[in-house]
Amino acid sequence: VMKVKEKCVGTAKNVKKMAKDDPRRIIHSLKVALALTLVSLFYYIRPLYAGFGVSGMWAVLTVVVVFEFSVGATISKGLNRGFATLTAGALGVGAQHLAILCGKKGEPVVLGFLVFLLAAMSTFTRFFPGIKKRYDYGVLIFVLTFSLVAVSGYRVDMILDLASQRFSTILIGGATCMIVSIFICPVWAGEDLHNLTAKNIKKLASFLEGFGGECFKLVDNDLSTKDSKRNGKSFLQSHKSILASKNTEESLANFARWEPCHGRFRLHHPWKLYLKIGALTRQCAYQIETLSGYINCDVKATLEFPRRIKESCIRMSLELSKTLRTLASSIETMTHPKKGGIHIESLKDAARELKSILSTMSLCSSNDLLELVPDATAASILVN
């Protein structure tokens, strides 16, 4: 009994945390439920039921399948479903007429052959990366509707009536989804992408802020290592999430393209540039991942060398983090990063200083500098 109680408490805590992390999740759940209840009115209200009959069930099906977390995803799925149903339905009716011409015995053979052919071809097109990314769901529904219409046409006589009834209920379901998702607390994929981009750059900045101190504290005093590791864990680990952010960014950018203009974003907002910035941010994160290796492993180099480069290294990583922060906030507010220029200048100064100290290779630092330049360029492209 105790164990069950513990588990219940644990689950309750988990739910609370999930809701706190992103309150939009609860709102989304309520929105789905609302859309579903609205659509099921078709069954409860007599005059509506008389018009659509059992086909009303397709509206329920559409709502459950189409309603997604962000507006862009919902619109993309809804439009995919609508167009695929329309074209596949028309083709299915055509296939039906063709099959009737072949006589009573030939009909099922022709229909079976057509279904086989279309299913194989459509399934193959789903492997193309371009189609998979944007129209995967549409092709799925195309196969589904075509086979349903072609096959059930063999038994049901009023195929046209049935098809039009189904299409109109799917239309109603899709429209309900879109309206609810756009007008009640909308979740824009574009805005999420925008914030994610800025947040990732900020994460890099906060890593670099702490990195300088962390790296040389280790050299100075080996005893304090354990303590600093425990305290510093949050900012030292924060860049890890950036490394795996590629897929999230791509799907967000994909959905953002379907969204109508909203807030600060116009219709043809350059979403692809966010992907470029994301790629550069990830490249920085790779290098930071390498840098962070130096904190955890104890470098057994001569102690004299690190002391000599300590100051300029710390200064450089601080300047770099300031530059990144400026970039992030200029992306957030969508203004040109003017102040960034100052930091870049003093950054270059620090790097020059460091280089003059090192007559040997300065791997760690030349890196830091190099990773910055493309990022700054990308940001200014975006803002312009």
Footprint on residues 166-225 left by its own copies (CB under 8 A): none
Residue 118-137 contact track with its own copies, rule CB under 8 A, x = bound: -xxx-xx--xx---------
Per CB under 8 A, the list member of 84, 95, 99, 115 interacting with its own copies is 115
Residues 238-267 touching its own copies, rule: CB under 8 A, are 243-244, 246-247
Per CB under 8 A, the list member of 65, 182, 273, 357 interacting with its own copies is 65
How many residues are listed for the chain in this entry?
384
Give the interface size with its own copies as a residue count (CB under 8 A): 74
Residue 298-337 contact track with its own copies, rule CB under 8 A, x = bound: -x-xx--xx-------------------------------
CB of 82 to its own copies, least distance (A): 17
- Neighbouring-strand partners of residue 262: 265
Nearer to its own copies, 14 or 231 (CB): 14
Stretch that binds its own copies, among 78-86, 291-299, 316-324, 327-335 (CB under 8 A): 291-299
CA proximity to 181, closest of 259, 251, 247:
259
Stretch that binds its own copies, among 175-183, 294-302, 315-323, 327-335 (CB under 8 A): 294-302
Binding flag, residue 20, its own copies (CB under 8 A): no
Stretch that binds its own copies, among 39-47, 317-325, 326-334, 337-345 (CB under 8 A): 39-47
Residues 83-112 touching its own copies, rule: CB under 8 A, are 108, 111-112
Stretch that binds its own copies, among 27-35, 82-90, 175-183, 186-194 (CB under 8 A): 27-35
Residues 354-383 touching its own copies, rule: CB under 8 A, are 359-364, 366-367, 370
Collapse the DSSP code of 276 into the 3-class scheme (helix H, G, I; strand E, B; otherwise coil) and give the result.
helix
Cα(204)–Cα(289) distance, integer angstroms: 10
Per CB under 8 A, the list member of 152, 168, 225, 329 interacting with its own copies is 152
The CA–CA distances, whole Å, from 360 to 89, 364, 366, 371 equal 71, 12, 12, 20
Stretch that binds its own copies, among 59-67, 175-183, 185-193, 319-327 (CB under 8 A): 59-67
Cα(34)–Cα(40) distance, integer angstroms: 10
Cα(138)–Cα(82) distance, integer angstroms: 8
Stretch that binds its own copies, among 18-26, 79-87, 167-175, 257-265 (CB under 8 A): 18-26
CB of 57 to its own copies, least distance (A): 6
Binding flag, residue 144, its own copies (CB under 8 A): yes
Q: Which DSSP string do the residues of 45-72 spell out, in sequence order?
A: SHHHHHHHGGGHHHHHHHHHHH--SSHH
Cα(243)–Cα(282) distance, integer angstroms: 6
- Neighbouring-strand partners of residue 265: 262
- 332, with CB counted inside 10 A (0-12, 13-18, 19+), is middle
Cα(59)–Cα(61) distance, integer angstroms: 5
Q: Is the dihedral of CA 200, 206, 208, 210 positive or negative?
A: negative
Q: Is the dihedral of CA 145, 147, 152, 154 positive or negative?
A: positive
